[in-house]
Structures are given as structure tokens and as C-alpha cells.
Amino acid sequence: MERRIDILDNVFAHFLKGSRVFRNREVLRHDYVPDYLPHREEEILRLGEITAPTLRGSPCSNVFIYGKTGTGKTAVAKFVLNRITQKAKEINSQVRVCFVNCRLAGTEYRILAALCSSINERVPFTGLAVGELFDRFRKSLESQGVILLAALDEIDALVKMRGDTLLYELTRINESLNRSKVSIIGISNDLKFKEFLDPRVLSTLSEEEMVFKPYTAEELQDILMERAKIAFHEGVLSEEALKLCAALAAAEHGDARRALDLLRVAGEVAERRGDTKILEEHVREAQKRIEHDRVYESIKSLPTHSKIVLLSALILSRFDSDHSITGEIYNLYSELCEQLGMSPLTQRRVSELINELDVMGLLNSRVVSLGRYGRTKKISLGIPRKIIIDVLSEDEILKDMLNYKPRFLSSLQ
Ligand SMILES: Nc1ncnc2c1ncn2[C@@H]1O[C@H](COP(=O)(O)OP(=O)(O)OP(=O)(O)O)[C@@H](O)[C@H]1O
Ligand SMILES: [Mg+2]
């Protein structure tokens, strides 16, 4: 008995002592905004210069920020808004600041509710019409006589979901305000987003424009080094591991989020193995895990018909890979739909789904000639079978179909 207690004591002691790898894991989370953003000084300065007039009670130009994912747009915008908020308190300025992520907010209602709450206008969680909410927002602004600096992050999500009515109203709101003004910082990583916008909205929204470039491997190294100082105990992160994280993330497209993910997961791999130094091998393992999770998530979030197409390719690959041509996939897909009581899409639509799965890397398709019978596509799986089976066996609709025996195969063999 005593021995057992001793063993547990060790477990507790080890746990209480904390990690031997991480000093502060929190700073590697996606929403952490560091105090220092290496290689974004120019962007911070420019956004600071553009928005500074709001501190004196004047509206500033609207700004449109775009750049690829992980280039620091959200971090820079939050950083500057935090500083404006701080300064406003110090000098008792009438500026109000609001940061909304449009994708997470999800609806126009919630975006407007966030804007209202930033000017202390209480609104119910639901129940009002969007137009009504907008009027309350406008009235409240006007009665308070304030400048509102509103950052709309992932603004493309708003427009893709709901069209640009709300943006249109927001960009026009100043025309009907006398004592107050709204200035907007719009942020997007979708470079084609501009094409979706009404030209009038676009021109108002992008009075100023900022483009964030992808980070180079060297820049990512500096970013990682700064974060590693607070995230890990001294001497834990090897230089080679740090360089590899930066190089791998730069090879994709200079994405700081990816670089930080690699660093965090590499730390977790080392910790789990009981190692106290993070080496290149931990980073390689981290890369595999992240890739696995990415593929897993991308399959999981596919629409049902795409999942059935993938399942068809999976089932066919069990038999003879030569049989996986578009026609067979379609036959099996239709059979599966019938079994599931769903109506199948047209062959043409299924071909499009196959192309999409190809672009995502989940299927490989290659055009082959069938001699005088024309051409078809030969299709194989782009990823290990196991991962598809793992995802689909958790799918309520499709899990029972994993071992389905195709009827039409007997006629082919
Ligand atoms: N210059 C930097 N210094 C330190 N950390 C940074 C820097 N740039 C980005 N990061 C960090 O990298 C991650 C991704 O950055 P951020 O969220 O700002 O990217 P983004 O451009 O908004 O990407 P997305 O378009 O996907 O929203 C965040 O955790 C952020 O803290
Ligand atoms: Mg962002």
C-alpha cells in the first residue's frame, strides 16, 4: 500500500512541478496577441497613423487590409486597437472601439449586436429585425456623439453568407449622422473578395488599402524565437528545430500560424516522449500530425454527396484499382445513394465533385484513353485508406456502408 502511495506521489509531484518543456503554453494559442510583433512594425505604424485621428474625435479613413492567411492581419489590427483603447482611456477620448470576427459572429444580427454593445447600447440576443437593430445602432450613436472605430475581421464571410447589404448600410451610415461617425477597418484573406463587392461599397471601404505580404523563412524564425522565449523553458528549443519550423511554414506560404502550430505540436511531442529538448525529429512528427488532422477535418466537413463519392472510391480501391474510372465510381455512388434512400446527383455533377476532391488532394484523377471508346478518368485515393475509414466510421449516415459489396462488380469480374 505504501509503495502505491509513493508511486502516486510521484505522479502528483511531476504534475505539480509543471511541464519540463513548456513554461507557458498559453502564448502558443491562436488568439494570443503578443506585445511585440516582429516584422510588422511598418504595418503597425501605418495603421496607427491612419486611425490616430479618432483619438482627437475625428473620424479616420476606412481601411481595407488584405493578405494571405497567417500574415498577421488580425494580430496587427488587435494590437493597434488595443493601443488606441489604452490611449483613449488615458486622455479620456470619445472614441469607441469594436473588433468583430464576422465569420465567428455568423449573422448580421450578431455583428450588429457587437457593434451596439461597443457603444453600450443594450440589445436582446434575438427578436428584433436586422433593420430595427440597425436603427437602434444609428440612433444610439447619434445621441452619444462618439467616433466608433470598428474592425470587421474576415469580412468576406459576411458578404459571402449574407450579401453586402449590411456593409452597404455601414459605409453609408455617416451620411445620416451629424454628431457621430463610424470608421471601418475591413480585413480579409480572400484576395478575390473585392469582386464580390458593389463598387460603391468597395470604394468607400478601401479609402486606404494595406496588403500584408507572406513572411519569409528568416522573418518566421524571428517570430518563433520571440514566442519561444516565453513559451518554453530555457534551452529546450534547439536551433535546428526552430529553423525547420520556419522553413516548413515558409515553404507553404509564409504562414505564421502554421509555424507556431508546428512549434507547439513539436513541444507536445517532445513532452509526451519525456524528452527535454525539442529536436528536428519532433518537428517532423508534428508536421505529420498536423497534416493528418488537416486531412481528417477536411474529410469530416465535406458535404454528404462528396463523402459518398469518396466512399465509392474507397470501396472500389479494395477490389481492383483499374476499375476506379469515373463510370464505376458513378455506378457505385448511385447504388449507395439508393441504399441510403437518397436521390443521386447527375453524373456531370458527380464529375465536378470528383474534380473538387482532386483539388483538395483527397483523390487523384488522371485522364486515360480507352482507345476507340474515348477517354475517361482513372481515379485513385490521394490519401491513406485508414484516415477515410476513421472519419467515415464516425459518420452516422455512412458508417454502415463501409463494408458495402457493390452489386455491379460481379458483372465486371
Ligand atoms: N509578426 C508577428 N509576430 C508575432 N506573431 C505573429 C506575427 N504575425 C502573426 N503572428 C501570429 O501568427 C498567428 C496568425 O496571425 P494572424 O491571426 O494575425 O493571421 P491573419 O493574417 O489574421 O490570418 P487569417 O487570414 O487566417 O485570419 C497568430 O497567432 C499571431 O499571433
Ligand atoms: Mg485573421
Estimate to the nearest angstrom the gap between the alpha carbon of 55 and the chain centroid: 32
Of 244, 270, 299, the last residue of a domain is: 299
Note whether 208 and 220 are same-domain residues. Answer: no
CATH of the domain at 243: 1.10.8.60
CA of 153 to the centre of ligand 2 (A): 7
- Point out which residues pair with 365 in neighbouring strands: 379
Atom of ligand 1 nearest to the CA of 222: 3
Nearest CA to ligand 1 atom 18: 72
CA distance from start to end of the chain:
65
Query: Measured between alpha carbons, how far is 152 from 193 in angstroms, rounded to an integer?
Result: 14
CATH of the domain at 389: 1.10.10.10
Note whether 122 and 202 are same-domain residues. Answer: yes
Query: Measured between alpha carbons, how far is 411 from 65 in angstroms, rounded to an integer?
Result: 58
Note whether 204 and 56 are same-domain residues. Answer: yes
pTM equals: 0.83
At residue 327 the predicted structure's pLDDT band, cuts being 50, 70 and 90, is: confident
Note whether 289 and 361 are same-domain residues. Answer: no
Note whether 202 and 55 are same-domain residues. Answer: yes
Name the average pLDDT for the chain.
Answer: 91
Of 279, 299, 319, the last residue of a domain is: 299
Q: What DSSP string runs through 133-198?
A: HHHHHHHHHHHHT-EEEEEEETHHHHHHHH-SHHHHHHHHGGGG-SS-EEEEEEEES-TTGGGGS-
Note whether 56 and 200 are same-domain residues. Answer: yes
Note whether 203 and 230 are same-domain residues. Answer: no
Domain membership of residue 66 (yes or no) is yes
Span 353-372, average pLDDT: 87
Domain membership of residue 34 (yes or no) is no
At residue 283 the predicted structure's pLDDT band, cuts being 50, 70 and 90, is: very high
Output the CA–CA distances (angstroms, integers) from residue 104 to 107, 253, 349, in the order listed: 9, 24, 31
Nearest CA to ligand 1 atom 1: 37
Note whether 359 and 370 are same-domain residues. Answer: yes
Is residue 124's pLDDT more than 60?
yes
Query: Measured between alpha carbons, how far is 256 from 212 in angstroms, rounded to an integer?
Result: 12
Q: Which of 45, 71, 226 to mutate to test the pocket of ligand 1 (most atoms within 8 A of CB)?
A: 71
Cell of 257: 500560424
Radius of gyration (Cα) for the chain, nearest Å?
A: 27
Domain membership of residue 269 (yes or no) is yes
Residues with CB under 6 A from ligand 1: 30, 32-34, 37-40, 67, 69-75, 189, 223, 256-257, 260
Query: Measured between alpha carbons, how far is 313 from 57 in angstroms, rounded to an integer?
Result: 62
Note whether 291 and 308 are same-domain residues. Answer: no
Query: Measured between alpha carbons, how far is 180 from 123 in angstroms, rounded to an integer?
Result: 20
Taking only the tens place, the pLDDT of each residue in 40-77 is: 999 999 999 999 999 999 999 999 999 999 999 999 99
Query: Measured between alpha carbons, how far is 118 from 134 in angstroms, rounded to an integer?
Result: 14
CA of 78 to the centre of ligand 1 (A): 10
Is residue 323's pLDDT more than 60?
no
Note whether 226 and 374 are same-domain residues. Answer: no
Domain membership of residue 400 (yes or no) is yes
Query: Measured between alpha carbons, how far is 50 from 41 in angstroms, rounded to an integer?
Result: 14
Query: Measured between alpha carbons, how far is 396 from 400 in angstroms, rounded to an integer?
Result: 8
Span 114-142, average pLDDT: 92
Range of the domain at 405: 303-412
Query: Measured between alpha carbons, how far is 76 from 256 in angstroms, rounded to an integer?
Result: 13
At residue 196 the predicted structure's pLDDT band, cuts being 50, 70 and 90, is: confident
Dihedral pair phi/psi, residue 279, rounded to 5°: -115, 175
SS3 97: strand
CATH of the domain at 134: 3.40.50.300
CA of 311 to the centre of ligand 1 (A): 36
Residues with CB under 5 A from ligand 2 (ion): 74
Cell of 334: 448511385
So what's the pLDDT on residue 53? 96
Query: Measured between alpha carbons, how far is 63 from 78 in angstroms, rounded to an integer?
Result: 14
Domain membership of residue 35 (yes or no) is no
CA of 34 to the centre of ligand 1 (A): 10
Domain membership of residue 394 (yes or no) is yes
Domain membership of residue 71 (yes or no) is yes
Note whether 307 and 388 are same-domain residues. Answer: yes
Unique residue bearing C-alpha cell 469518396: 310
Of 183, 212, 241, the last residue of a domain is: 212
CA of 411 to the centre of ligand 2 (A): 53
Looking at the structure of the chain, the number of domains it has is 3
CB 264 within 8 A of CB 355: no
Atom of ligand 1 nearest to the CA of 76: 18
Query: Measured between alpha carbons, how far is 56 from 83 in angstroms, rounded to an integer?
Result: 14
Which of these, 120, 119, 106, lies nearest to 182 by C-alpha position? 119
The contacts of residue 204 (CB under 8 Å, 6+ apart) are: 62, 171, 172
Least-confidence region, from 78-87, 134-143, 212-221, 371-380 = 371-380
Angle at the Cα of 35 (from 34 to 36), degrees rounded to 5?
A: 90
Domain membership of residue 36 (yes or no) is no
Nearest CA to ligand 1 atom 8: 72
Note whether 246 and 318 are same-domain residues. Answer: no
